[in-house]
Structure 1
């Protein structure tokens, strides 16, 4: 990937706002600088998950069927339950009649489950993540929440906590309700289908990767045997055929989840990492995807080629660097009247590789509880004290960030120490101000 060698002068504006919030409006968004490829699908989307930077958006805000990509939400809740200590990988799971009946339907993705046997959480999780096994997914949901309906309620709460609102979730698997043998979510019908936008689907993938990166150890498995050495042994080949050794293999692909139903068409959430940069891609209802089994993989491959060739992560600030172009903050009762701010950590931006230079704009917001009635800071202030946040964005960026932020957020701190003035200096300043006011 080509590296940018030059970044032009930083242009910085400052807003002293009345609240402390990580979401600040930016006025620097303008025209995109890279032409997007045309993806043959109902919707396509791509992000860099660490920052949430949107790289590609093709009809990304239309709600569409998500099929088995639903299982990424189920995986998240399972992994969170384990992390919280309420579930262990070797816990044994009983199989209900409902989960058993679904698992015996070989027109769906399944591994065979027995009512008279138990299965470890780990082997059911592997069946779900690798082979999209629907009966195994239901069994895990019932084990965690008591029944699938209660688990779906957990799914609603979880996605809404991520800011996802334009969705429909009726089951844990992504199957059509008509396949669930009457075991449907209260208030739904046989025609109800799990749906979400491509943008929101990318948020699900982002949260899964950031909070539980270990998911890639399983999603990257090309093939594994379920219950090896038993009469129920079945070879589970991953439906993500871009993984190593499979028919549409692409180097560095390690996830994440496919989904196919008549309603949703052939869809895929993919992810790959090259030269230290990871991308997440969403393809929803690839054109003729159920007839042409290569289609969703070809379109995913197209997005990945474009993303890695046209975007690069470029350092903008180094840890401790002073924002020289920011008007210093006013300080009351100090030996100095002003204070410069510095970034607490490194900041990098995704910038088009074709750009020779980029203007960068930062919006700084000071914590409300540090400001006095006059809207100023009050000495003493120690170097390194957190004073607020900055949102940093590259001008010409109309695609923005998937979580609603207007840029890379970084904590800003006092660049130096401002000691409190002694009483004589403060008195002198007061007298000077008083006389100035008289005249």
Structure 2
């Protein structure tokens, strides 16, 4: 027998002045997310697939770092530039001018990709992992599905459009390169949470490719919000810009202040400057309007739900408590709800046995359903309840029978 009890309660009330209604990023799509939980703090047209330009490289970064973690490649592997890499070194937008048959390490190429958005370096990493870019694109799309990116399709490792790739253009059958703002935020969150080292490289304002050689290239990070660059903003340490004619100016940014890290995505901004101004507006709103609060801690009880019924036990009730700590991003002037669900259990009951749950913030939007589910924590039994003997259960049954008559 199971009984589900649900209650909506006001948990916290905060006051504040910042409002999402005051935001006007003026872009095709935008999203602001809490990096820890995946909670959406602001959204505008976030599920429309659009050309992502070089924000595509976040997926290439993810797969490179995953391959290094899995030891299928190493930072010190030597990569020899192919004809495709040489072509991109001459015609591929942002690039480090890789020469034909030039040999560079995975680390050098990764830094060129993450700091300078070098398309030639990016494609060579893709070929190093999967032999061909086409095969690497299959890995990109597989990983996107695995991460829950429902509105994305990859056809190149770089984000370059088909029409500038000449003989190296991907087949029409692969479709178009697209990604939604939600998917870009999912990807960015997975990248920096799974591989924190990605931020160490992405946050480098300036570096030099082929340092000390005759043809060295000074790489100034396209993320102009980093320290020392033109649109410097407190806490910004990533992540990836992008531009093509079809995409407009795009930027997936991230910043950390105190115990809060935010991720923002803007797509289709009117200019390089505009994408940073829109990002600043989103990030400043997030840091002003939201805070992280400890909502519950291990051992807490929920008023009105201190116990649940036990069938066939020596005791007819068992005390319950919260199984773990939980902190949550909350808006300063919002009401956070909780939903408590307890189950009637049958003896024997073990101490620590899960017999219910409490879900917080169930009305808010999250990047994925599983992110919302992560805000739900278990309620557990505080003590052990042994099963009652057959005689005790028999007498209880008789007692309940006669009480029912009256």
Same fold (TM over 0.5): yes
**Match in the other structure for 1:96:** 82
Aligned partner of 1:297 in structure 2 is 276
Distance 1:421 1:91 in 2: 67
Candidates 209, 214, 217, aligned match of 2:197: 214
* Pairing 1:362–2:327 present: no
Q: 79, 96, 103: which one pairs with 1:111?
A: 96
Are the aligned partners of 1:34 and 1:352 in contact in 2 as well (CA < 8 Å)? no
How many angstroms apart in 2 are the aligned matches of 1:388 and 1:125? 47
Partner SS state of residue 104, structure 1: helix
For residues 368 and 189 of structure 2, the distance between their equivalents in structure 1, rounded to whole angstroms, comes to 10
Could you tell me which residue of structure 2 aligns to residue 39 of structure 1? 25
- Native 8 Å contact 1:336 1:418 kept in 2: yes
Match of 1:418 among 385, 388, 391: 385
Cα deviation, residue 16, structure 1? 7.6
Q: Deviations over 1:173-201 (max 9, x none)?
A: 11111122232334448xx5421111111
Cα drift, residue 435 of structure 1? 6.2
Q: Number of aligned pairs?
A: 393
Q: TM-score, normalised by structure 1?
A: 0.83
Matched, 1:337 2:302: no
| Equivalent residue in structure 1 for 2:47, among 61, 73, 81 | 61
Q: Which residues in structure 2 correspond to 1:264-413 (within 5 Å)?
A: 264-286=247-269, 288-289=270-271, 293-326=272-305, 328-355=307-334, 358-364=335-341, 376-387=344-355, 389-393=357-361, 397=363, 399-404=364-369, 405-406=371-372, 408-413=375-380
Asked if 2 retains the 8 angstrom alpha-carbon contact of 1:53 and 1:400, the reply is yes
Retained in 1: the 8 A contact 2:5–2:340? no
> Secondary structure of 2:227's partner?
coil
TM-score, normalized by length of structure 2? 0.89
- Bigger drift between 229-238 and 407-416 goes to 407-416
Contact 1:170 1:188 in 2 (8 A): no
Q: CA deviation at 1:115?
A: 3.2
In the other structure, the counterpart of 1:124 is: 109
* 1:262-319 deviation line (CA, Å, top 9, x unaligned): 0100010000011210100011011x21xxx311111101111111111111221112
Separation in structure 2 between the aligned mates of residue 340 and residue 183 of structure 1, nearest angstrom: 67
Deviation at 1:333, TM superposition (A): 2.4
Deviation at 1:335, TM superposition (A): 2.0
Q: 68, 72, 77: which one pairs with 1:86?
A: 72
Distance in structure 2 (CA, Å) of the matches to 1:341 and 1:194: 51
Instruction: Tell me: CA distance 1:390–1:84, structure 2 relative to 1, closer, same or farther (3 Å).
Output: farther
Gaps of 5+ in 1: 1-13, 18-25, 367-375
Aligned to 2:13: none
| Cα drift, residue 159 of structure 1 | 1.0
RMSD between superposed Cα atoms in Å: 2.6
Distance in 1 (CA, whole Å) between partners of 2:105 and 2:354 is 47
Q: Given that residues 323 and 340 in structure 1 are in contact (C-alpha distance below 8 angstroms), is that contact kept between their aligned partners in structure 2? A: no
CA contact (8 A) 1:324 1:340 kept: no
CA distance in 1, matches of 2:89, 2:356: 53
In structure 2, how many angstroms separate the alpha carbons of the residues matched to 1:110 and 1:258? Answer: 14
Summarize the Cα distance change of 1:363–1:213 in structure 2 as closer, same or farther, 3 Å threshold: farther
> Deviations 1:57-105 (Å, cap 9, x if unpaired)?
0111222111000110111111111111212111111221112211222
What is the rounded CA distance, in whole Å, between the counterparts of 2:106 and 2:99 in structure 1? 15
**Contact 2:236–2:255, Cα closer than 8 Å, also in 1:** yes
The C-alpha deviation readout for 1:131-189, integer Å capped at 9, x for no partner, is 10111111111111121111111111111112222222111111111122232334448
Q: Does 1:74 align with 2:98?
A: no
Q: 1:186 to 1:344 in 2, by over 3 A?
A: farther
How far 1:347 sits from its partner (Å)?
A: 1.6
Gaps of 5+ in 2: 11-17
Q: Name the structure where helix makes up a greater proportion of residues.
A: 2
The answer to whether the 8 A contact 2:9-2:337 is kept is no
Of 178, 184, 192, which aligns to 2:163?
178
Matched, 1:135 2:117: no
1:430 deviates by 4.3
Q: Distance in 1 between matches of 2:204 and 2:342?
A: 45
SS of equivalent to 1:254: strand
Residues 1:128 and 1:388: Cα distance change in structure 2 (over 3 Å):
farther
Q: Are the equivalent residues in 1 in contact too, given 2:231–2:276 (CA < 8 A)?
A: yes
Shift of 1:389: 4.2
Task: Give 1:150's match in structure 2, choosing from 135, 139, 142.
Answer: 135
